[in-house]
């Protein structure tokens, strides 16, 4: 009987599946909906089965082959023990499932299973260092109490500065005017928006910050200096735990390297593989289960 290995990288937006034979031969790859287990374990499982079904079809496989598949899952939300337990208690058609976090999968893939660290900074942020069987995590406790260096915190700081500029406490700049234009130059609109704004709503301003910094806008430069300092704080913490090879991942982290201090830049390396490949590496290996 042919055995198959499946890697899953699942987050709040999408779930990606990649299938290989036990010899590493590529079978197929596909994408489906949300697989963050904090948004519902049944929803996540449905997305996973959907993505695997689509990927299997590319290699002329069907649901009858699911029993020969060992599935490695790198899923957002897996760090919460109760959600991990709920998900793993679900009935499934696969030979086995191993579940860890999306950050863990990204780190395993980035360093091809060797020791190393990653710093993720997209809308949120999280650092993880894998050394043998030990996993060190810094940050990642979500907006607004954590996630420094991520786009949401950057956007929150920007809104605060824009309001100070409107009160003539600091200087108005093209970036602050850009934000005010977004809210029809009405501070009351910002206040009303803030009552229900989600992390991604704050994060939407990060491209404008990078764009205006490139044009020399002093407020945008100040924002990126703060973001770089926040990310560097986590990088130093990872280094103190022993990490000397760190990959930057995510829309913010990948663009911030030039803003980091030269000594810290020497720790930065390019990732070797993605999180799906990382999940493939631990598929069928229960010792990689988070709990």
pLDDT tens string, the chain, 291 residues long: the values are 899 999 999 988 899 999 999 999 999 999 999 999 998 999 999 999 999 999 999 999 999 999 999 999 999 999 999 999 999 999 999 999 999 999 999 999 999 999 999 999 998 899 999 999 899 999 988 899 999 999 999 999 999 999 999 999 999 999 999 999 999 999 999 999 999 999 889 999 999 999 999 999 999 999 999 999 999 999 999 999 999 999 999 999 999 999 999 999 999 999 999 999 999 999 999 999 999
Q: Is residue 230 part of a domain?
A: yes
Same domain (yes/no): 224, 259: yes
**Distance between CA atoms of residues 11 and 33, nearest Å:** 9
CATH code for the domain in which residue 193 is found:
3.30.420.40
Other beta carbons within 10 Å of 258: 8
**Omega of the bond leading into 144 within 30 degrees of 0 (cis):** yes
- Residue 119 inside a domain? The answer is no
Residue 145 inside a domain? The answer is no
Residue 135 located in a structural domain: no
How many domains does the structure of the chain reveal?
Answer: 2
Is there a domain that residue 198 lies in? yes
pTM: 0.87
Could you list the residue range(s) of the whole structural domain that residue 16 is in? 4-112+272-288
130 lies in some domain? no
Cβ atoms of 78 and 100 closer than 8 Å: yes
Cross-sheet strand order for the sheet of 96-101: 26-32, 15-21, 4-10, 69-75, 96-101
Q: Is residue 84 part of a domain?
A: yes
Q: Residues 161, 72: one domain?
A: no
Residue 132 lies in a domain: no
Are the CB atoms for 269 and 243 separated by under 8 Å? no
């Amino acid at each position: 009987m042919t055995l198959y290995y499946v890697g899953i990288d699942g987050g709040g937006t999408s779930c990606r599946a990649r299938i290989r034979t036990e010899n590493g031969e590529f079978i197929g790859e596909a994408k489906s909906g949300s697989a963050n287990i904090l948004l519902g374990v049944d929803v996540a499982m449905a997305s996973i089965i959907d993505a695997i079904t689509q990927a299997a079809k590319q290699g002329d496989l069907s649901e009858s082959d699911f029993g020969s598949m060992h599935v490695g899952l790198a899923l957002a939300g897996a760090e919460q023990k109760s959600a991990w337990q709920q998900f793993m208690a679900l009935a499934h058609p696969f030979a086995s499932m191993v579940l860890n976090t999306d950050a863990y999968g990204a780190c395993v893939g980035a360093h091809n299973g060797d020791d190393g660290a990653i710093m993720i900074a997209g809308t949120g942020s999280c650092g993880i260092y894998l050394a043998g069987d030990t996993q060190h995590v810094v940050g990642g406790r979500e907006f607004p109490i954590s996630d420094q260096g991520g786009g949401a915190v950057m956007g929150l700081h920007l809104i605060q500065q824009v309001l100070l500029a409107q009160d003539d406490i600091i200087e108005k700049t093209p970036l602050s005017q850009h934000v005010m234009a977004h809210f029809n130059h009405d501070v009351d609109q910002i206040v009303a928006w803030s009552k229900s704004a989600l992390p991604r709503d704050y994060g939407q301003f990060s491209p404008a910050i990078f764009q205006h910094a490139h044009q020399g806008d002093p407020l945008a430069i100040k924002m990126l200096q703060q973001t770089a300092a926040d990310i560097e704080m986590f990088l130093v913490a990872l280094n103190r735990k022993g990490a000397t090879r760190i990959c930057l991942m995510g829309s913010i982290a990948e663009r911030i390297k030039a803003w980091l201090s030269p000594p810290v830049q020497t720790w930065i390396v390019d990732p070797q593989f993605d999180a799906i490949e990382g999940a493939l590496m631990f598929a069928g290996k229960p010792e990689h289960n988070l709990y």
